[in-house]
A and B are shown apart, each in its own frame.
Chain A
Amino acid sequence: MLWKADPTFYPSPKLAAQAPQEKLAYVAAFNPKGDGRPDALLVVDVDPSSSTYGQIVGRTNMPNAGDELHHFGWNACSSALCPYAAHPHLERRYLIVPGLRSSRIHILDTKEDPRQPKIVKVIEPEELARRTGYSRPHTIHCGPDGIYMSALGAPDGEGPGGIFALDHYTFEPLGQWEVERGKQYLGYDFAWHLGYDIAVTSEWGTPRMVESGVIPEELLAGKYGHSLHFFDLRKRRCIQTIDFGAEYQMVLELRPAHDPTKAYGFAGVVVSLKDLSSSIWLWFKNGDEWEAKKVIEIPAEPADAALLPPILKGFGAVPPLLTDLNLSVDDQRLYASCWGTGETLQYDVSDPHNPKLLGSIHLGGIVRKTPHPARPGEALNGGPQMVELSRDGKRVYFTNSLYAAWDQQFYPDGIDGWMVKVDVSPEGMTLDPKFFLEFGDLRGHQVRLEGGDASSDSYCYP
């Protein structure tokens, strides 16, 4: 119980962009070996003035093995200040950490010792299934009236995927969120425009389609997701579906504008069946209708088949495999991770309809294997994948693993987990030579910054 609102809650993105620099980062890390040792939530020192800068300074092991920690999020954030359900006594304190493979949801308390979060509650997969009908929990967003989570599918490995909520105070799963899902069947990410009472959901594949790796036959048949769905956030009904066309396989990350008066956002498409390119789409409101259009196309790069993993040999090219996006809190810069080619791209999206490429950094990659400045001459595997951005937009953090079964397909020699940091200045992006963190036996996935980051919070005031 606090007399003052949590200082990490900001009414508007403008104020959030002035937030102090983060000192700790949380990283979900999984054990790819299947040797019976559990995954862990790692705490990384990101304070440049600290003697342990760029090192792991805390670790919380999960109680079971084989969870495959992936995405995670805070129990509460700036949306707690939304006027219709303002709850300033909530605290940004608990991390909601699901296992994507196990469907087990862990609640970790960071308050007592932020470097050593404590597990205070575990929701077992059976309970999740009983209460919601869902399984494989993925994205977490702290909402004004509860904690919202997306799920890839049903316990039997098929669909539909969808959204469920946890109670803000007890963390009890509250049941299936959708009242009417319309054409929506596949699930993955979700985002919202709180100022418009609209939720947007994207599509990957059912658990069966993703858990043992991408299924080439189904991919070539265009069976993975290629649509966006728009839901009325209050009535919980699907009001519109936009199909990009079966050519565009796997519509994954959704990054809505932070400004609640703006009704647009960016969606990343992993691969086009036509030319292996990746693309970024803009969704926007036009009158009463939602529309979407491709605003960025990232081409595949021709490559010697001998250097390619079996799944790509027939194509003679490396696809960029755009697997993550991040939009700065001021909605001016978009960062795109090309996990296949090992490249991170920075765009000026001040005019969202006409993005301009500002810069690029190569690191790792299926063919290039570009080294990090901290280890010149040492080939890196994996590529920039999960990207997280500080609220002031000056620091970008990347990890290099996608998902165990897919890591194996695209980087069959294995992935050594690493985390890097990029400094952003008006002149462009530079890799911080002092920040190259190796995870050892684990692989890092999503990064969350202490106090919030560019994808953790939503706002109700401009």
Chain B
Amino acid sequence: MSGSWPWGVLIFLGAYHGLNPGMGWLFALSLGLQQRSRTAILRALIPIAIGHAVAVSLTLAAVGLVGAKLPHQALKFLVAGILFALGLYRISRSRHPRGAGMRVGFRDLAVWSFLMASAHGAGLMLAPVLLAHPMQGMHHAMDSATGSNLAEIAISVLALAVLVHTLSLILVAGATATLFYQFYERWGLGLLRHTWFNFDLLWALALMIAGLAALII
């Protein structure tokens, strides 16, 4: 089972994460507006991308480590279970990051992005893709009786997966923030007000869909 579609899913999920205002584009936009500078948006996106990438990498590494000890089926159920639980939790209650603010530097933004991606289960949402399909041309001999195939994926492929995902995120987040910034120059923030919908709810559903995907693929 190999093909290029897992890469497509990673790019799609990157774009999806990028569109979520809670993953950074909104923060970048507000910093741009506060400083009246488009470059401030781009400057903010770098630490946001780093924080996101670190959070996703750590989650996938953790899944990989657990996967090395568990049979593949058990790992699938575990990941699906966590995804469902997180999705339900995010529907029932959400929390605020404490100690955040608007005067933020590189480190603050990276930490904020890391916390947001971790708390929202951004990395976990990618796990089913890697669980199901080691990347094309890179998978080693598999023996699912002694451990999950995720553990078998080369570090370099995992790194590439995170990179591709993050690049996709940053392109979409950057484009979205820049679009709103351009729009603001002419018409103010009316577009933001009218297009703002509850992405958190959509996100919770996406977590559960990912849980389902972990079970069936």
List residues of chain A with CB under 8 Å of any chain B CB.
1-5, 10-12, 14-15, 81-89, 144-146, 168-169, 194-197, 233-235, 260-261, 460-462
Asked if B189 contacts A11 (CB within 8 A), the reply is yes
A85, B101: Cα distance in complex, Å = 9
CB-CB under 8 A from B102, the residues of chain A are 82-84, 194-197, 260, 460
Asked if A1 contacts B98 (CB within 8 A), the reply is no
CB-CB under 8 A from B192, the residues of chain A are 11, 461
A208, B160: Cα distance in complex, Å = 66
Asked if B198 contacts A1 (CB within 8 A), the reply is yes
Known: A84-B97, A84-B112. 15 other contacts (CB 8 A): A1-B201, A3-B201, A5-B193, A10-B193, A11-B189, A14-B189, A82-B102, A83-B26, A84-B100, A87-B96, A87-B200, A146-B96, A194-B101, A197-B103, A260-B102
CB-CB under 8 A from B112, the residues of chain A are 84
Q: Nearest chain-A residue to B190 (Cβ)?
A: A15
A157, B180: Cα distance in complex, Å = 51
A248 → chain B closest CB, angstroms: 30
Q: What are some 13 contacts across the A-B interface (CB < 8 A)?
A: A1-B201, A3-B197, A4-B198, A11-B189, A11-B196, A14-B189, A82-B30, A82-B102, A85-B100, A86-B21, A88-B196, A88-B198, A169-B94
Provided the pairs A197-B103, A461-B33, A462-B33 are in contact, do residues A84 and B198 lie with their beta carbons within 8 angstroms?
Answer: no
A77 → chain B closest CB, angstroms: 14
A343, B19: Cα distance in complex, Å = 52
Main secondary structure of the interface of A (DSSP, over half): loop
A368, B192: Cα distance in complex, Å = 50
Q: Nearest chain-B residue to A18 (Cβ)?
A: B190
A378 → chain B closest CB, angstroms: 46
A5, B26: Cα distance in complex, Å = 14
Asked if B200 contacts A89 (CB within 8 A), the reply is yes
CB-CB under 8 A from B103, the residues of chain A are 196-197, 234
Provided the pairs A14-B188, A14-B189, A234-B101 are in contact, do residues A83 and B30 lie with their beta carbons within 8 angstroms?
Answer: yes
B27 within 8 A of A: yes
CB-CB under 8 A from B100, the residues of chain A are 84-85, 144-145, 234
A89, B197: Cα distance in complex, Å = 9
A197 → chain B closest CB, angstroms: 4
B44 → chain A closest CB, angstroms: 10
Asked if A15 contacts B200 (CB within 8 A), the reply is no
A145, B201: Cα distance in complex, Å = 19
B29 within 8 A of A: yes
Q: Nearest chain-A residue to B200 (Cβ)?
A: A89
B21 → chain A closest CB, angstroms: 6
Asked if B197 contacts A88 (CB within 8 A), the reply is yes
A82, B192: Cα distance in complex, Å = 12
A440 → chain B closest CB, angstroms: 41
Asked if A83 contacts B29 (CB within 8 A), the reply is yes
A179 → chain B closest CB, angstroms: 10
B146 within 8 A of A: no
CB-CB under 8 A from A88, the residues of chain B are 196-200
B93 within 8 A of A: yes
B120 → chain A closest CB, angstroms: 12
A261, B102: Cα distance in complex, Å = 11
Mark each residue of chain B from 41 to 65: 1 if its CB lies under 8 Å from any CB of chain A, else 0. Answer: 0000000000000000000000000
CB-CB under 8 A from A14, the residues of chain B are 188-189
B71 within 8 A of A: no
**Which 4 pairs show the lowest CB-CB distances between chains A and B?**
A145-B96, A197-B101, A84-B100, A83-B27
CB-CB under 8 A from A85, the residues of chain B are 96-97, 100
CB-CB under 8 A from A87, the residues of chain B are 94, 96, 200
B34 within 8 A of A: yes
Asked if B188 contacts A81 (CB within 8 A), the reply is no
B76 → chain A closest CB, angstroms: 30
CB-CB under 8 A from B36, the residues of chain A are 261
CB-CB under 8 A from A81, the residues of chain B are 196
A169, B188: Cα distance in complex, Å = 31
CB-CB under 8 A from B99, the residues of chain A are 234-235
A197, B198: Cα distance in complex, Å = 26
B81 within 8 A of A: no
A19, B119: Cα distance in complex, Å = 34
B91 within 8 A of A: yes
Q: Nearest chain-B residue to A170 (Cβ)?
A: B93
Most buried by B among A15, A83, A89, A197: A83
Q: Nearest chain-B residue to A80 (Cβ)?
A: B96
Give chain B interface residues in 82-107, CB to chain A under 8 Å: 91, 93-94, 96-104
A145, B102: Cα distance in complex, Å = 13
A168 → chain B closest CB, angstroms: 7
A318, B184: Cα distance in complex, Å = 50
B119 → chain A closest CB, angstroms: 12
**CB within 8 A of A15: which of B27, B97, B189?**
B189
CB-CB under 8 A from A84, the residues of chain B are 27, 97, 100-102, 104, 112
Asked if A461 contacts B101 (CB within 8 A), the reply is no
CB-CB under 8 A from B198, the residues of chain A are 1-5, 88-89
Asked if B30 contacts A460 (CB within 8 A), the reply is yes
Asked if A5 contacts B197 (CB within 8 A), the reply is yes
Asked if B96 contacts A260 (CB within 8 A), the reply is no
Asked if B94 contacts A89 (CB within 8 A), the reply is yes
Asked if B93 contacts A461 (CB within 8 A), the reply is no
Asked if A144 contacts B196 (CB within 8 A), the reply is no
A196, B102: Cα distance in complex, Å = 6
